[in-house]
């Protein structure tokens, strides 16, 4: 990407989009275009067509999505599949119509089968049954991957897809019901600490294993791949290491400074037993993460305190 190229970051107010936006500005890209959801409804086909026709972006980071944790995914199943397919379909198609030089689509590690071998290789897509709780969201993301592949195959469009592992960081979603596990735990332990609650109950058994990547590392990887990767097959972005939910909870408990008890409600769903990304393909290209989990949680907690307390 040329430093003065017009770059559209879709979803620039979300955790992922804002990290990409800030990364581009730090790297000296001077013509970054954004729109808030009030200014542009990405679910509206006509509005997206008008935006692309008038702005003519040269590069697109497709980070806009309806996202949430296990409760939100399982509760708002129709919303998750409809809104995500609408958003990404409108943007990908208009990127083709308006001859965008390159588009990067952000998927999710939940695209992989529930019981896929570990670590998750890119080749494991569509080799088994998805996890039920987030199946609609996963299917929407798979549709986005296949759209990028199809537009590349039929039209020669340089559309690439990346699959990040579980993310956390600056501008995360701390909603008590709709957030992902790591920010949800930060909020829960902080509120328990400030309210002197003697016990924090965690959903599930605590045994599932998860991998976590800090948002600024993801942004760095996305800009790196936009400049260095042009293949049809999507590529995983992660750290290549995972941790149990129990150990994650204990780490956050320590960082927050909560001194009460920790118990697990095994009647609640665990979700996929393990989700560890195989990132050997990304490492071979020359990119690796920089922020370790404990350091990242401390940064995220400080951001939570600054913006929500």
Residue 1 is labelled as binding a ligand: no
Residues near 257 by Cβ (< 8 Å), separated by ≥ 6?
193
**Euclidean distance between CA atoms 233 and 224, whole angstroms:** 16
Residue 239 is labelled as binding a ligand: no
Residue 180 is labelled as binding a ligand: yes
Structure tokens at 125: 């897509």
Residue 269 is labelled as binding a ligand: no
Crossing angle of helices 15-26 and 215-228, rounded to 10°? 60
Residue 210 is labelled as binding a ligand: yes
**Euclidean distance between CA atoms 130 and 143, whole angstroms:** 14
Cβ atoms of residues 135 and 148 within 8 Å:
no
Q: Compute the CA torsion angle 267, 272, 274, 278 (nearest 10 deg).
A: -170
Residue 256 is labelled as binding a ligand: no
Options 21, 29, 112, 137, the catalytic residue? 137
Residue 84 is labelled as binding a ligand: no
Residue 267 is labelled as binding a ligand: no
Q: Work out the burial of residue 53: count CB atoms within 10 Å of its CB; fewer than 13 is exposed, 13-18 middle, 19 or more buried.
A: exposed
Cβ atoms of residues 9 and 24 within 8 Å:
yes
Residue 43 is labelled as binding a ligand: no
Residue 289 is labelled as binding a ligand: no
Residue 13 is labelled as binding a ligand: yes
Closest CA to 256 of 172, 191, 201: 191
Residue 107 is labelled as binding a ligand: yes
Could you tell me the strand order of the sheet in which 159-164 lies? 32-33, 7-10, 59-62, 102-106, 159-164, 235-237
Residue 141 is labelled as binding a ligand: yes
- Backbone φ, ψ for residue 262 (5° rounding): -130, 120
Place of tokens 């026709």: 53
Positive or negative, the Cα torsion across 274, 275, 281, 284?
negative
Residue 11 is labelled as binding a ligand: yes
Pairing of strands 243-244, 209-210: antiparallel
Residue 218 is labelled as binding a ligand: no
- Is there a catalytic annotation at residue 301? no
Residue 24 is labelled as binding a ligand: no
Residue 165 is labelled as binding a ligand: yes
Kindly list the catalytic residues: 137
Query: Residues at the annotated binding site?
Result: 11-17, 106-109, 141, 164-167, 180, 188, 203, 210, 270
What residues form the annotated binding site for NADP(+)? 11-17, 106-109, 141, 164-167, 180
What residue numbers does the annotated binding site for substrate cover?
188, 203, 210, 270
């Amino acid at each position: 990407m040329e430093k003065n190229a017009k770059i559209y970051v879709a979803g620039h107010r979300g955790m992922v989009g804002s990290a990409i936006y800030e990364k581009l500005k730090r790297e000296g890209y001077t013509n970054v275009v954004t729109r808030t959801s009030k200014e542009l409804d990405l679910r509206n086909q006509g509005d997206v067509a008008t935006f692309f026709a008038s702005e003519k972006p040269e590069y697109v980071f497709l980070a806009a999505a309806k996202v949430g944790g296990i409760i939100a995914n399982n509760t708002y199943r129709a919303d998750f599949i409809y809104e995500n397919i609408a958003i990404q379909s409108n943007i990908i198609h208009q990127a083709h119509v308006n001859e965008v030089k390159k588009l990067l689509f952000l998927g999710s590690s939940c695209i992989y089968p529930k019981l896929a071998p570990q670590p998750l290789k890119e080749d494991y897509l569509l080799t088994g049954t998805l996890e039920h709780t987030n199946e609609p969201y996963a299917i929407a993301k798979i549709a986005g991957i296949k759209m990028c592949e199809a537009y590349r195959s039929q039209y020669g469009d340089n559309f690439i897809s990346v699959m990040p592992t579980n993310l956390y960081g600056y501008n995360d979603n701390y909603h008590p019901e709709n957030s992902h596990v790591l920010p949800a735990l930060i909020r829960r332990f902080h509120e328990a600490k400030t309210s002197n609650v003697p016990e924090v109950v965690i959903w599930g058994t605590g045994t599932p294993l998860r991998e976590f990547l800090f948002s600024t590392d993801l942004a760095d990887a996305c800009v790196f791949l936009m400049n260095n990767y042009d293949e049809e097959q999507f590529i995983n972005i992660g750290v290549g290491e995972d941790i149990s939910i129990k150990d994650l909870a204990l780490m956050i408990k320590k960082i927050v400074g909560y001194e009460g008890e920790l118990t697990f409600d095994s009647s609640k769903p665990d979700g996929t037993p393990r989700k560890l990304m195989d990132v050997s393909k990304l490492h071979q290209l020359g990119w690796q993460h920089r922020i370790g989990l404990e350091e990242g949680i401390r940064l995220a907690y400080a951001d939570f305190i600054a913006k929500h307390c």
